[in-house]
C-alpha cells in the first residue's frame, strides 16, 4: 500500500510539472475510508471523500447488538414456551384441598388411636384391680357373707371404684363372687368384671 501511495505521488508530481492536474486513484485507509486525491494547479494535494463511498455508508444499516426479534405465534420457541407453563390457580386450589382433607384424616386417625390406647390401658388397670380384690378374699381365708360391698382404689395413677357382689349357690360349699371395677369419674360404666367361686377351705 505504501508503494502505491509513493507511485501516485510521483505521477502527480510529473503531471504537475507538465501543467495538467491528474486525479489520483482512490486509496483505502486503515479504517476502510476511501479518498480521492487530485493535484491542484499550485501543486498541493487535496483529499475529499468519494461521493459513492458516502452514499454506501448512508445506505448501510447495521443491526445493533442485543437486538430482540419478536417471535410469531407459529415459531417453534413459542410452542416450547407454551409447553413449559406453570400451574393454574384452580390446580393449586385443588391440590391444597386434597392436602387439607388428607391432613384432617391423618389427625383424626392419630387422635382415635391415642384415645383407643388410653382406653385399653385403663381397661388393663381395672382388670388388675379386680384380680387383686379376689386374691385378697382368697388369702384372707374368711367365708364372705352374701351381700354387696363397695370401695375405692388407685391403680396406675387412675382413681377407681370397685363393687363386690356375693351370692349363694345350689351347693352350700360354694359362693359366687362378682367383682366389677370402674373409673371413679364414671362409676356406672364398669370397665372390668371378674367372677370367682370361693369355698370355706380357701385358699
Whether the per-residue pLDDT at 83 is higher than 50: the answer is yes
**Which carries the bigger pLDDT value, residue 32 or residue 160?**
160
The answer to the question of residue 148 being in a domain is yes
> Is the distance from CB of 192 to CB of 126 less than 8 angstroms?
yes
The answer to the question of residue 186 being in a domain is yes
The answer to the question of residue 67 being in a domain is no
- Domain boundary (59, 76, 95) is at 59
- Domain boundary (40, 59, 78) is at 59
Res 66: pLDDT:
47
**Which carries the bigger pLDDT value, residue 7 or residue 180?**
180
Res 160: pLDDT:
93
From CA 201, how far away is CA 94, in angstroms rounded? Answer: 74
From CA 198, how far away is CA 142, in angstroms rounded? Answer: 10
Count the domains in the chain: 2
* CATH number assigned to the domain comprising residue 143: 3.30.1300.30
Name the grid cell of 168. 349363694
3-class DSSP state of 141: coil
Residues 4-15, mean pLDDT to the nearest whole number: 70
- Domain boundary (10, 42, 59) is at 59
Domain of 37 in residue numbering reads as: 2-59
From CA 27, how far away is CA 181, in angstroms rounded? Answer: 121
From CA 180, how far away is CA 161, in angstroms rounded? Answer: 8
pLDDT digits (tens, 9 = 90+) for 164-192: 999 998 888 889 999 999 998 888 889 99
3-class DSSP state of 142: coil
Residues 31-45, mean pLDDT to the nearest whole number: 48
**Which carries the bigger pLDDT value, residue 71 or residue 174?**
174
Name the grid cell of 36. 480521492
Question: Could you tell me the pTM of the whole model?
Answer: 0.45
> Is the distance from CB of 89 to CB of 146 less than 8 angstroms?
no
pLDDT digits (tens, 9 = 90+) for 94-144: 999 999 999 999 888 888 888 788 888 889 999 999 999 999 988 887 778
> Is the distance from CB of 180 to CB of 166 less than 8 angstroms?
no
Res 178: pLDDT:
94
Amino acid at each position: 500500500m505504501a508503494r502505491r501511495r509513493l507511485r501516485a505521488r510521483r505521477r502527480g508530481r510529473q503531471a504537475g510539472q507538465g501543467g495538467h492536474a491528474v486525479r489520483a486513484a482512490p486509496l483505502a485507509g486503515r479504517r476502510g475510508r476511501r479518498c480521492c486525491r487530485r493535484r491542484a494547479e499550485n501543486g498541493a494535494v487535496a483529499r475529499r471523500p468519494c461521493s459513492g463511498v458516502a452514499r454506501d455508508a448512508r445506505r448501510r444499516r447495521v443491526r445493533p447488538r442485543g437486538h430482540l426479534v419478536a417471535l410469531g405465534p407459529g415459531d417453534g420457541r413459542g410452542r416450547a414456551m407454551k409447553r413449559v407453563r406453570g400451574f393454574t390457580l384452580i390446580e393449586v386450589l385443588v391440590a391444597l384441598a386434597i392436602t387439607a382433607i388428607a391432613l384432617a384424616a391423618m389427625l383424626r386417625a392419630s387422635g382415635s388411636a391415642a384415645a383407643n390406647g388410653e382406653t385399653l390401658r385403663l381397661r388393663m388397670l381395672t382388670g388388675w384391680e379386680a384380680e387383686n380384690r379376689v386374691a385378697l378374699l382368697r388369702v384372707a381365708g374368711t367365708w364372705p357373707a352374701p351381700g354387696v360391698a363397695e370401695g375405692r382404689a388407685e391403680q396406675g395413677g387412675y382413681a377407681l371404684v370397685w363393687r363386690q357382689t356375693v351370692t349363694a349357690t345350689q351347693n352350700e360349699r360354694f359362693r359366687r363372687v362378682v367383682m366389677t371395677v370402674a373409673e371413679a369419674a364414671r362409676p356406672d360404666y364398669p370397665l372390668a368384671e371378674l367372677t370367682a367361686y370361693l369355698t370355706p377351705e380357701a385358699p
